[in-house]
Amino acid sequence: MAIVGAILATFYLVGVGVAVALYGLQIWPIAVVGSVLLVVVQYKVGKWGALRSVGAEDLSEQQYPTIHRQVEQLSAEMGIEKPTLKIARMGVPNAFAVGRKGAGVVVISEELMQILDQDELKGVLAHELVHIANRDVVTMVIGQGIASIVGIAAQFIVLLSGDNDLADFFLAIVVGNIVQFLVMLFVLAISRYREYVADADAKAAIGGGDPLARALEKIQRGNETARDSAVDEQVSALCIFGSNSGLLQKLVSTHPPVEERIQRLRS
């Protein structure tokens, strides 16, 4: 985690350094402020878009008192404020968290509540609360922001070193996307690592890993047989379960293999 974080920090400094080299020292405050604004906008828009895309609605405390009590207990043990709980019809059994400490939101699919036992659902809720407690969503947004900044810097390098014709314009787009993709490989590595951490912390919070392991098995089967998923690629990156198969897909996946997660939970 420290190594990958240091690499991302280096990428960011290189991006700002390129801006300074091209436009002079007077550009660095604009570059830094612009970077912060980019991350803030991505965070706000991403949170709003994720909730809107699945049609999330408030989870009634009168209708689901057990879930609310479980979240209150787990939140108190983790030292965070109880997040807002929402329910959505996703077409697949899944759950995800967005936001940060003090402004978190946990979304549970109707399909998930239908297939999980009470202790299994508690394990899933603990996993999502850990993401909020560990600021994982903010961490990922910062990583994505760095990838965008470095990609933009690469585009400017190509444009300013060429003749500024149409060919240079298209070349800049291609180079920028390639550079952004390479940086995103490190961001995705962080995402997979944070899933392992969330599993381990949830295991400690509920006193054992078997309930969450059983939940993951049921969620995997439910996603494999589902035909009408309302979860798009952006939301899938936030969910507790993400499918991946094949070497390339594992490399660009936001989640580690579910079989390995289950094995770790039961070890």
Scanning the chain, the segments in alpha helix (DSSP H) are 2-23, 28-53, 65-78, 110-115, 118-133, 136-161, 166-206, 210-225, 233-236, 247-251, 258-266
| Structure tokens, 25 | 């020292």
Token digits for 121?
Answer: 């659902």
Tokens standing for residue 168: 């240079």
By DSSP bridging, strand 57-58 and strand 105-109 are: unpaired
Classify 246 in phi/psi space as left (phi over 0), alpha (psi -120 to 50) or beta.
Answer: left
The question of whether 128 is a catalytic residue gets the answer yes
Q: Which residues lie below 8 Å from residue 261, measured CB to CB, with a gap of 6+?
A: 195, 196, 199, 213, 216
Longest Cα pair distance anywhere in the chain, in angstroms? 66
Order of strands, sheet of 95-98, starting from the edge strand that comes earlier in the sequence: 57-58, 84-88, 105-109, 95-98
> Of these residues, 111, 120, 128, 195, which one is catalytic?
128
Q: Give the burial class of 62: count Cβ atoms within 10 A of its Cβ; 0-12 exposed, 13-18 middle, 19 or more buried.
A: exposed
Classify 87 as helix, strand or coil. strand
For the annotated catalytic residues, the residue numbers are: 128
